[in-house]
Chain A
Amino acid sequence: DAGITQSPRHKVTETGTPVTLRCHQTENHRYMYWYRQDPGHGLRLIHYSYGVKDTDKGEVSDGYSVSRSKTEDFLLTLESATSSQTSVYFCAISEEYMNTEAFFGQGTRLTVV
């Protein structure tokens, strides 16, 4: 299995509070991604990174920010959590882009009450 660890695995938080999810990899892969999974929507890309300090927005980036200060860590922050951000969040990594396999973490189930 690819070395990807997401933390926490489960979290319940209150509306309006900031939340940070962490993705840690031991594979030294260049690309890292954050997706959210919601029923009927599949997986939707929030943000991705193509190197240290190099990040870009995905299709559902509003309300989220990311940081990558080291190759192995990619942080996703919800600045002020809302109930619409209740979801399962997956981190993924890939060695290159195009044609290559992406490896996924186990997911973080976030509930905003």
Chain B
Amino acid sequence: GDSVTQMEGPVTLSEEAFLTINCTYTATGYPSLFWYVQYPGEGLQLLLKATKADDKGSNKGFEATYRKETTSFHLEKGSVQVSDSAVYFCALSDQGGKLIFGQGTELSVKP
């Protein structure tokens, strides 16, 4: 079945460092891809999405590009802030419309 694999965490960075969180997927057809973020004690919220190959999703300085040839959707940010500390989930929407999540990557940003 369809699946999503994320790099393991936790990831600890200093403020203003460059962030990359790797995400690869296995899917039949052409899924939509998402990044969700979960701040402590809260539910998940959508960070960005891409619906077809070569699309770039972006929001709040985060970016991810849908790479069909490498089946990847890596999350990047040029300069992280303490307020970006959270758990990040990569997800895809399968043929039946259900969201399938990766295991999550915890990010901790130190001042």
On A, residues with C-beta under 8 Å from B are 4, 31, 33, 35, 40-45, 48, 50, 58, 90, 92, 94, 96-107
Contacts and interface: CB of A to CB of B under 8 A. Distances in A.
B90 to A, nearest CB: 9
Nearest to A43: B101
Interface stretch (B13-21, B45-53, B61-69, B78-86): B45-53
Contacts of A42: 4, 6, 89, 101-104
A48 B97 CA distance: 10
B99 A107 contact: no
A40 B103 contact: yes
A33 B98 contact: yes
B49 A43 contact: no
9 contacts: A33-B99, A35-B101, A42-B6, A42-B101, A90-B43, A97-B97, A99-B32, A102-B46, A102-B99
B104 A104 contact: no
A97 B42 contact: no
B27 interface: no
B96 interface: yes
B93 interface: yes
Contacts, number: 59
A31 B97 contact: yes
Given A33-B99, A97-B97, A104 B51 contact: no
Given A48-B98, A102-B46, 12 more contacts: A33-B99, A41-B103, A42-B4, A42-B6, A42-B103, A43-B101, A44-B101, A97-B93, A98-B93, A101-B34, A101-B49, A106-B42
B44 A45 contact: no
Contacts of B32: 98-99
A24 to B, nearest CB: 14
Contacts of B102: 42
